[in-house]
């Protein structure tokens, strides 16, 4: 069963040793289907709008004390984008200044292979979700550190060429 309410509050929020809030995000992805409905090799990633505007980014939010990094990434994907799937290994960790709060945050990103997209999800009325190509996402995503995570993700999926 899926919980249709987002977590709120910061009582369980994780902070690093320097006092920076720890957030976890993910790159939800799937393989585009061709005209016949067969899976192609072309990837699509899912971005969501911010709560306070139309800027697009990957789902992310606070990492709480009672959950693993993988659980936090799954929760944020469900709450913000209404998708579930298989979490893969972490892409990296970034330090960035929150535009909203002007303080340092520690961001972690993980890929999520989407196996279900829900019609109803906790933040359905607050956000819009948009599937797009890697190139479109790279251009549109508002956060530099998420773009870096996307680049790492693409390199991880691209087989090394024999040169």
Section 133-156 average pLDDT: 95
Please say if the pLDDT value at position 109 is more than 70. Answer: yes
Query: What is the domain partition of the chain in residue ranges?
Result: 24-157
Listed in sequence order, the DSSP H helices in the chain are: 69-76, 134-140, 144-157
Beta-strand (E) ranges in 50-149?
Answer: 56-57, 60-62, 83-87, 92-97, 104-117, 129-132
Residue 103 vs residue 118, higher pLDDT = 118
CB-CB contact of 79 with 72 (8 Å):
no
CA R_g for the chain: 16
- The domain made up of 24-157 has a fold known as Nucleoside Triphosphate Pyrophosphohydrolase (3.90.79)
The most confident of the ranges 5-19, 75-89, 101-115 is: 75-89
Cα 101 to Cα 115: distance, rounded to the nearest angstrom: 34
Q: Which tokens hold the place of 31? A: 């393989």
């Amino acid at each position: 069963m899926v919980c249709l309410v987002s977590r709120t509050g910061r009582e369980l929020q994780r902070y690093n040793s320097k006092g920076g809030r720890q957030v976890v995000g993910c790159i939800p992805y799937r393989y585009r289907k061709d005209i016949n409905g067969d899976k192609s090799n072309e990837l699509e990633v899912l971005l969501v709008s911010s709560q306070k505007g139309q800027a697009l980014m990957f789902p992310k939010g606070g990492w709480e004390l009672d959950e693993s990094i993988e659980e936090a990434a799954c929760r944020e994907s469900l709450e913000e984008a209404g998708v579930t799937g298989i979490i893969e290994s972490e892409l990296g960790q970034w330090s960035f200044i929150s535009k909203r709060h002007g303080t340092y945050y520690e961001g972690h990103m993980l890929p999520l292979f989407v196996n279900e997209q829900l019609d109803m999800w906790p933040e359905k009325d607050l956000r819009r979700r948009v599937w797009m190509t890697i190139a479109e996402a790279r251009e549109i995503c508002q956060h530099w550190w998420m773009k870096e995570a996307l680049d790492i993700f693409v390199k991880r999926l691209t087989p090394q060429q024999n040169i």
